[in-house]
Amino acid sequence: MPVIVIANPKGGVGKSTLATNVAGLLARQGHGVMLGDIDRQQSARQWLALRPPQLPLIQGWKIDGRVVRPPKGATHIVLDTPAGLHGQALEAALTIADRLLVPLQASLFDIQATHDFVHAVRAHPRGAQIALGLVGMRVRERTQASERLQEYLATLPLPVLAWLRDTQNYVQLAAHGLTLWDVAPSRVERDLEQWQPLKEWLSR
């Protein structure tokens, strides 16, 4: 069962936005998707509560007493993680991860946090077994900040899977439990184009 972990110790980088849309993509492809949330804010869990029942099913954790496990029928797991991920929580996430997506924005603080985090993941005993990819979030084209981000990411021996633009589409869709894959393609055509390399990476 593939486990896709969305992680960056820096808060506010777009982890939940990325997690929900990855889950929505996999569900639209016909997979049995579980969206887990180990963030105290439970953003992904709250988003699930808003999701219309007629859309492709995305399930949360199955909880029996104190036991938490994937629900019946789940074939793919997407795990949203909290800011400040470290210690036992990071260890647990890396122990089960098959793929790790690291979202970051065009700021010095994001770059510094991501730099340290990527090196920590690579130094982990399972680091070499985890497929790791970076995703630029809320990117504003032709700005100095986005240029600095691209220059930094070019120094890392990791694939940059997508540059996702700064748009209200994600905010408006999330408010209704929706993803890019749940509305008419013409409404989000530019965003779907930006997702294509990430979509291909997830399908490998």
Give the residue extent of every domain in the chain.
3-203
Retrieve residue 55's tokens. 């859309």
Q: Tell which wins on pLDDT, 143 or 77.
A: 77
pTM of the model: 0.93
Distance CA(170)–CA(167), nearest Å, equals: 7
Helix, strand counts (H, E) of the chain: 7, 9
Residue 128 phi, psi dihedral angles, 5° rounding: -70, -15
> Which candidate, 103, 167, 180, 162, places its Cα nearest to that of 140?
167
Predicted confidence (pLDDT) per residue in 28-77, tens digit: 999 999 999 876 667 788 899 999 999 999 999 865 555 567 888 999 99
CATH number at 3-203: 3.40.50.300
